[in-house]
Chains A and B, each alone.
Chain A
Amino acid sequence: MARLNRDTLIALLLLVFCGVMISASLDIEETNYGTMQSSVWPQVVLGVLTVFCLAMLGQSVLKPSVVKTENGAGSRGLGRYRNAITVYVLFFLFLVTLPYLGMLLGGIGFVFLALTLLGEPELKRVPLHLAIAVGTVGLMWSIFTFGLGVLLPDGELLQLN
């Protein structure tokens, strides 16, 4: 059985998304004022989006695009997204710990870990990464706090404001 074309799968997922959102649009409150109900425009947009998704589905079935094979793509699999996944996980941790660490410590932690995990895995680079993290995040924090007057979030661990 032929493998499911990537674009076909995306089109199907988008169609499911359209279906869910169209269904959600039916729950939008109706008002007895205004000439155009609040649900009209989203429904028009979703209708148009559905048509384009159907066109993509048809296109992907009738004229499947040539899937570019990259060197070693099979063996690498998710490995080629390792850096992206690493950054997203780190950023997620940064956000979750923001109430405890605050922007300054959390930012330094994020940059330091990102540099260490994305850069050369050498112990001698760790102090350099730490210096870069402290220097750059400290500078940005200072510019926003003192230069632009922004109250960046403090954490429970370190109260600066």
Chain B
Amino acid sequence: MIETLMYAFADVFAPWNLALMTIGVTAGLIAGAIPGFTIAMAVVLTLPFTFGLSPVEGLSTMIGVFVGGLSGGLMSGMLTGIPGTPSSIATTFDGFPMARNGKPGLALGLGVWSSFFGGIFSAVLLVTLAPRLAVIGLEFGPWDYFSLVLFALTITASLSGENLVKGMIAGALGLFIATIGEDEVNGVARFSFGIDDLESGFTFLPVLIGLFAFSQLLSDLQDRVKARQPLMDASGADARIRIEHLKAIRMVFARWTNLLRSSVIGVFTGVLPAAGGSISNILAYDQAKKASKTPEKFGTGTPDGIIAPESANNATAGGALITMMALGIPGDIITAVMLGALLIHNVQPSPTFISDNPDLAYAIFVAFFLAHFIMIAMQSVTLRLFVMVTRIPMYVLASVILAYCAIGVFALNNITYDIWVLFFFGIIGYVMRQLGFPLAPIILGVVLGHVAELNLSRSLAIDSDLMLFLTRPWSLFFLLVSVFSIGFPWYQKARTTKAWTLAYIPVLLAAVSVPLFMMEGFVRPIIGVALLALSAYLLWRSAASGWKVAPTGDHEVHLEET
């Protein structure tokens, strides 16, 4: 392991790689700071540049954009009151008032250092947990892997928007798109309608850029008046602000319990497929407020209100990478793009990824650590760039990026057909956005469609008995959580008004304890007993209080494009 780590250090600390990461972090910081320009879009647009790079260079650059983007949102949120990304929404609640109260340097310092420590915490967990989770992943047979894909899709669909059915339709459409072209198992052309180009199917990148980036840009241009105005009014933002680093570090350490709790929330939100920084920052803020002795100060510019969301959203990145690297399942659009990048370099993401490609896996770990240090160094520089970029009108930015999309997509296979695919899916993505369909499930469907089909085929080749999907513990586990994830939107809507919601979590815990009892060894059945006991305790508590639901001030959880 030490030897692998040394190789990884040598790769990541190579001067060219450092330069690429610095550019990536800077681009991420700027992209994250511009409202409407999401981190996912920045990562998507980075992908074409990575074709000509080695896997380590490409992935390091994308990680740089990812980490920079998560921290960039705080700049605009604190200085203008408009969060740059959904993952910085809660930061604005206290960051903006603190900046308005004459302490913009301290507010930025708290945000930057909370992001840093949250990210480093998740990086430590990434290095320690991902290989262990991957060992569990090695137990998975094709039945379990198929059910895991199903779970990733159902939870993404249920968290992606207000209409569960539209989310499910989007996920199924994604799976269908992945079936077009030559089938990987038997080599038979499907849905080609006699068009030669369609026989090779759709390459992931043009579909992704079309569905996501192209349609997003068009949506940003929709308002003709707004499209001609500068990106945002940053007149209140002074580029000469000095970030108060030392004072901020001291304040963050003085509130270490908040930092730790929020980072843990961030990591575990990230581990969960579909849940990203847009959810974790609000959850962490809520928990920090509940745990505070002075909750009334939240919203007025209290440091705890900045530390919680910023540490949580950066920690989410580490959590999402844990799932991606250990199980080969993307947690969100960003990790889906990273999986796409791995596929472009002929690296197949799967539970064996870390053991099969240790050099690349450890390089990702090291790059994730390093990106946070670069982020700290670049924050002051990008503050000036951010103020400059905000003066550009959206129509200029969008027109140039659209041309870049065409060039970038062509670079993948050197064929014009890919640009037509981009154009076609750009229209589909735009129409779907307009009709209220979430795009995250369709993208995950496209990425995971082949994985699902391949594993279904393998499972049937081994044994045609479909009951194995229910009798194998891990498969049953994922199917059960899939069912509960489908019910989650109803639970969320009714939890402050309907008594049945009091039974939702206890029943979920009891249900998932069943596959744990079916597993071998002592530890997992013991966890099963613990879950069952917790379930019984929660039911007893609800019964003792007469099944009364208490309204809470929690925010509703919805996945937004980070």
Contacts and interface: CB of A to CB of B under 8 A. Distances in A.
Answer yes or no: do A and B interact.
yes
A107 B169 contact: no
A148 B188 contact: no
B420 interface: yes
Nearest to A87: B218
Interface string B191-203: 1010000000000
A36 to B, nearest CB: 4
A4 to B, nearest CB: 14
Interface of B: 49, 51-52, 165-166, 168-169, 172-173, 175-176, 179, 183, 185-186, 188-191, 193, 218-219, 221-222, 224, 227-228, 393, 395-396, 398-400, 402-404, 406-408, 410-411, 414, 416, 419-420, 423, 426-427, 430, 435, 449, 452-453, 456-457, 460-461, 464
A95 B399 CA distance: 15
A115 B189 contact: no
- Interface centre among A31, A37, A98, A114, by most B CB within 10 Å? A114
A119 interface: yes
Given A56-B169, A82-B224, 8 more contacts: A6-B435, A21-B176, A31-B188, A42-B191, A45-B176, A49-B176, A110-B399, A152-B411
Contacts of B228: 118-120
A151 to B, nearest CB: 6
A150 B52 contact: yes
- Interface centre among A34, A84, A136, by most B CB within 10 Å? A84
B410 to A, nearest CB: 6
Given A10-B435, A136-B400, A148-B49, A53 B188 contact: no
A152 B410 contact: yes
A31 B185 CA distance: 11
B400 A111 contact: yes
Given A21-B176, A24-B191, A91 B402 contact: yes
A150 B393 contact: no
A24 B137 CA distance: 37
A14 interface: yes
A52 B430 contact: no
Contact of A38 (B51, B183, B221): B183
Nearest to A88: B427
B435 A29 contact: no
A62 to B, nearest CB: 12
Q: Looking at chain B's contact residues, is the secondary structure mostly helix, strand, loop, or mixed? A: helix
B222 A153 contact: no
Interface residues on A, range: 35 or more
A56 B173 contact: no
B411 A150 contact: yes
Given A42-B190, A136-B403, A137-B403, A84 B222 contact: yes
Contacts of A149: 52
B253 to A, nearest CB: 43
A33 B51 CA distance: 36
A21 B95 CA distance: 51
B186 A34 contact: yes
Interface of A: 6, 10, 14, 21, 24-25, 28-29, 31, 33-39, 41-42, 45-46, 48-49, 52-53, 55-56, 59, 80-84, 87-88, 91-92, 94-95, 98-99, 103, 107, 110-111, 114-115, 118-120, 132, 136-137, 140-141, 144, 147-153
Contacts of A136: 400, 403
Nearest to B422: A91
Given A38-B188, A49-B172, A140 B407 contact: yes
Contacts, number: 167
A21 B183 CA distance: 16
13 contacts: A24-B191, A45-B175, A49-B176, A82-B224, A83-B224, A83-B227, A87-B402, A88-B423, A95-B420, A118-B221, A150-B410, A152-B410, A153-B410
A28 B218 contact: no
B52 A49 contact: no
Given A98-B416, A119-B393, A152 B407 contact: yes
Contacts of A45: 172, 175-176, 179, 449
B188 A95 contact: no
Nearest to A109: B403
Contact of B399 (A82, A114, A120): A114
Contacts of A29: 188-189
Q: Looking at chain A's contact residues, is the secondary structure mostly helix, strand, loop, or mixed? A: helix
B188 A28 contact: yes
B172 A94 contact: no
A148 B416 contact: no
B97 to A, nearest CB: 31
A36 B190 contact: no
Nearest to B179: A42
A49 B167 CA distance: 11
A22 to B, nearest CB: 11
Nearest to A36: B457
B151 to A, nearest CB: 15
B52 A25 contact: no
B193 A118 contact: no
B222 A144 contact: no
Contacts of B406: 91, 94, 103, 107, 110
A80 B426 CA distance: 18
- Interface centre among B51, B188, B460, by most A CB within 10 Å? B188
A103 B186 contact: no
- The 8 A-B residue pairs with the shortest CB-CB distance, nearest first, are A148-B52, A114-B399, A38-B188, A49-B172, A118-B395, A38-B183, A42-B179, A35-B461
B222 A140 contact: no
B399 A21 contact: no
B204 to A, nearest CB: 17
Contacts of B193: 24
A137 B452 CA distance: 40
A38 B189 CA distance: 9
B185 A34 contact: yes
A141 B407 contact: yes
Nearest to A94: B406
A56 B186 contact: no
A92 B396 CA distance: 19
A152 B51 CA distance: 14
B478 to A, nearest CB: 17
A140 B419 CA distance: 16
Contacts of B183: 38, 41
A111 B191 CA distance: 34
A140 B190 contact: no
A115 B411 contact: no
B199 to A, nearest CB: 12
